[in-house]
Structure 1
């Protein structure tokens, strides 16, 4: 894949570049997340990004250096917190005799659903879905290198609870569960929240349905 890069601005003394680095960087990340969700990684142009974030190319280059790096930071901004919550939840139950399959699935699924309903979290879920749909090898390598250990630890706990499944069969099933979760998080599903159901109740219903569905799929002989 061709390396995506930013052109340098000829105006390094831009007022945008001299504004607060944290606020400028955050504006760029927020704008990038929304544009990537709408148009994909290649479809979102630098002109759209700088306009939406209220910055110039020098500011984008200063904080990220390349489009690949910006994409990685969009993911890191969300996934560090998400997977931290997952690992904390897994650490409380892993290896214990009373832990069951639904407990482990809840540790994996609930933090993700919480994120998908938290502010612009649903936008990020669409970005995540695009990462799989667009077959971006550079991004997939980044996700594997930085977050693959999370999936490996969950899979190890699934393997402990499902000793009769072969490694290959388990990996197939875990991959399908992850796909179902990504679909549920993206908000593209047929089941929409009813007007008389609160957001938190709908999220809990989604989690319970998905946990039961995934447990049945993982444990089927």
Structure 2
């Protein structure tokens, strides 16, 4: 891919990510994307073919790398100590929080993820399940090995709750704000530490009668 092609494609993805974060997937038109990216509709069709593919590529651009980091860290954690639940949870939690801190669009992408939770978009959910469902399954296997008393249903309930809490922490609009004098990195590290401790207690909780 030439430098010019790369630049055009990235401008389209940047514009789409920003607009999807602000207006949602249904509320953003390709005309808005082309206007913000300063390209014509032919460029969008050339690089993506359709709005659905553009939505998918906005996710793929960031989630491919994040998923690879998660799986690499999970493999290392399990190799070091397969019974270390907190180490496994850190592999799940810390890469997304680092992405949220990324000044090059990370914050906008977090809002895009929130849109994916909030909007009913069956095509997008199917794409995310097909492309990244294996990541959740790998973590499920590792956590199950640590918590053999959990049923599969209990395990996946708790994984869903963890994913929701992580999204909330990434958005950084909760009760805890970054204190004055504390760097963004320190704040994110504290958030990861607290979330991992919270999640570990949740996975270790007894059965519900």
2:100: which partner in 1?
116
* Pairing partner for 1:193 from 174, 178, 190: 178
CA displacement 1:32-52 (0-9 Å, x = unmatched): 000000110011122221111
Matching of residue 30 in structure 1 with residue 14 in structure 2: yes
Alignment gaps of 5+ in structure 2: none
Stretches (4+) displaced over 2 A: 95-99
1:59: which partner in 2?
43
Q: Higher helix proportion, which one?
A: 2
- For 2:137 and 2:77, how far apart are their aligned partners in 1? 16
Question: Which stretch of the first structure deviates more once superposed, 28-37 or 190-199?
Answer: 190-199
Structure with the greater alpha carbon radius of gyration: 1
How many pairs align?
204
Instruction: Tell me: CA distance 1:19–1:166, structure 2 relative to 1, closer, same or farther (3 Å).
Output: closer
Provide the TM-score with structure 2 as the length reference.
Answer: 0.94
1:205: which partner in 2?
190
Provide the TM-score with structure 1 as the length reference.
Answer: 0.89
Deviation of 1:95 after TM superposition, in Å, equals: 5.6
Contact 1:155–1:174 (8 Å) recurs in 2: yes
* Pairing partner for 1:50 from 24, 34, 37: 34
Q: CA RMSD in A?
A: 1.5
Contact 1:106–1:211 (8 Å) recurs in 2: yes
Contact 1:93–1:99 (8 Å) recurs in 2: no
Q: How do residues 32-181 of structure 1 correspond to structure 2 at under 5 angstroms? A: 32-94=16-78, 97=81, 99-119=83-103, 120-181=105-166
Matching of residue 220 in structure 1 with residue 205 in structure 2: yes
